[in-house]
Structure formats: structure tokens, C-alpha cells
A and B are shown apart, each in its own frame.
Chain A
Amino acid sequence: DAKTTQPPSMDCAEGRAANLPCNHSTISGNEYVYWYRQIHSQGPQYIIHGLKNNETNEMASLIITEDRKSSTLILPHATLRDTAVYYCIVRVSGLYNTNAGKSTFGDGTTLTVKP
């Protein structure tokens, strides 16, 4: 799986959009970008994923650059409950891939939403 780079911390004002960047310059063509978050002391929670098109769900939007070397997770209206560590992961998908069982998390970005 490709390595990702994220800033260690970011702040965001409550009600504003939070834009969390992730660099994955060594991503290969069959690797997906996944985002998870971990609220203090809890198990990580899935947010969103994508391959090359931008994606949106009820939690967030994912913008992937055309060359797929970076992506941005957007929380459109951040709340205090969005304060968490956000992990960007790049991995190959597929049942029969020899690496399919593996998934390593980096240190993520600590997002602090302030009143």
C-alpha cells in the first residue's frame, strides 16, 4: 500500500468547512483512498472512500486530484463533535489480492473544532 502524508494538526472554527489534506504521491492505479476518524478513546470510524472520482456522502466530501497524488477530505459544516484524529489510507482493494488483508494507519491529522 502507498504511504500517505498528513499534517499532524489543524484547527477549524465551528460551522466552517474543515479541509483536511492528504498526499499519496506513490499511489498506484488500483489503490483506493479511504478516510477514517477516531474520536477520543473510541474505535476508528469509516467516513468515505474513492478511486478517482470525487465522492460525497452524508458525512463528508472527498476530492481527489486528477493525477491522484493527493486528496482532500471536506467536512462542510464542522461541529465540536467532529474534533477527532482523521486518518487517510491508500490501499489496494479486492478479495484475491495478496495484500488485501493488510491495512496500516499512519499518525493522522488531529482536527480541533473551536467554538
Chain B
Amino acid sequence: NAGVTQTPKFQVLKTGQSMTLQCAQDMNHEYMSWYRQDPGMGLRLIHYSVGAGITDQGEVPNGYNVSRSTTEDFPLRLLSAAPSQTSVYFCASRAGGAGTDTQYFGPGTRLTVL
């Protein structure tokens, strides 16, 4: 299993540009989440999904869109990039069921918005 994969690893955008961060998992996990981590800070939840076709907002959803058309993929779209969105973005997945909330994280995408 590859686990959770994210692309690209690094990205530089100009203010106002849009882009999609890709996330895929091959563990057949129901739940997937997107986090951002600013320098020296903890992780903050952006959006999450509890299954294909179902998404919901986390702590900091503004400026981001998500969709979940398949179990495997959970892309994060930046609609109009702003310097405040400069951060490291982590995707995570986990299985459902009682006591099985262990999350598996991808390696991250380092985004700089100029």
C-alpha cells in the first residue's frame, strides 16, 4: 500500500491564482480530511469527508473547496490564492468504526503564495 499520497510536494502561486491540491489513499478509508499548518503552529482542520459525496467544513474553511466523488480521492481547491494561505497542507484518512480513529497522514504540500 502506498498509504496517503499528496501532489505536488511544493507549489508557488501568485495572488489570485487558483489551483488544486491532490490527495489519494489506497486503504479504502471512509474518512478523509485536509489540514493546514502554519509555521510553529499546530494543525487546523479545513474540510473533511465521511464518505464519497459527503463533505463538511472544519475550523478554517474559507477560501477552500472540496469534493469527494470517489472513496480514494479528496482534492482541495484554492479558489483565489492569498498570501494568508501560505502554509503546509496535510491530507489524512482513517477508517470508520468504534475505536478505529487512527489517522494516516500524507507527506504534505508546501504552498507559498506571493
Contacts and interface: CB of A to CB of B under 8 A. Distances in A.
A95 B90 contact: no
Which of the listed residues A44, A101, A108 has the most CB atoms from chain B within 10 Å of its own CB?
A101
Interface string A84-99: 0101000101110000
Given A93-B99, A94-B97, A95-B97, A104 B105 contact: no
A91 B107 CA distance: 23
A98 B30 CA distance: 14
Contacts of B31: 100-101
B74 to A, nearest CB: 12
Interface range on chain B (Cβ under 8 Å from partner): 20 to 34
A101 B48 contact: yes
Interface of A: 32, 34, 36, 41-46, 49, 51, 85, 87, 91, 93-95, 100-108
Given A95-B96, A101-B50, A87 B42 contact: yes
Contacts of B98: 93-95
Contacts of B77: none
Contacts, number: 77
B49 A44 contact: no
Interface of B: 4, 30-31, 33, 35, 41-45, 48-50, 56, 58-59, 88, 90, 92, 96-108
A31 B102 CA distance: 13
Contacts of B42: 85, 87, 105-108
A43 B98 CA distance: 24
27 contacts: A32-B99, A36-B103, A41-B108, A43-B4, A43-B106, A43-B107, A44-B43, A44-B90, A46-B103, A46-B104, A49-B99, A49-B102, A87-B42, A91-B101, A93-B98, A93-B99, A94-B97, A95-B30, A95-B96, A95-B98, A100-B96, A102-B48, A102-B58, A103-B103, A104-B58, A105-B42, A107-B42
